[in-house]
Amino acid sequence: MIVKSFLMLKLIIVLPLILIVDYVLMVILGCASCLFGIGDDFYCGPYCIIGKIILVVSALLFGFLIYPDIARIFREKKYGKATKEPENK
């Protein structure tokens, strides 16, 4: 049960935090390119590619963060939990 709560916390807190950081990075990049006078062709080419790279890296990071929790849930289902300890006779 604890594993599922950790997974839910990661989904509720970490995922939105990663997405906000992605958004802020893209806003900073867009503002900097506007400030330096880069033309409109930048937004149709390199800006989109950079945005896709940032999103893929963020998705991989989030996948690595939740993988242990998901693996632990499936491992518990596969082997089952012990309800009682065996008695020593």
Query: Residue-wise pLDDT tens for the chain (89 aa)?
Result: 676 788 888 889 999 999 999 999 999 999 999 899 888 888 888 999 999 999 999 999 999 998 988 888 887 766 666 555 666 65
Domains identified in the chain, total number: 1
User: Which amino acid makes up residue 50?
Assistant: I
User: Residue 58 in contact with residue 19, Cβ under 8 Å?
Assistant: yes
For residue 89, being part of any structural domain is answered with no
Give the range of the structural domain holding residue 70, as residue numbers without chain letter.
Answer: 7-78
Q: Which residue do the tokens 């509720």 mark?
A: 12
**Burial class (CB within 10 angstroms; exposed 0-12, middle 13-18, buried 19+) of 74:** exposed
Q: Is residue 30 situated within a structural domain?
A: yes
Structure tokens at 10: 């990661």
- What does pTM read for this prediction? 0.72
What CA–CA distance (Å, rounded) separates 77 from 79? 6
Q: For residue 39, what is the DSSP state?
A: -
* 26 part of a folded domain: yes
In a domain, 84, yes or no: no
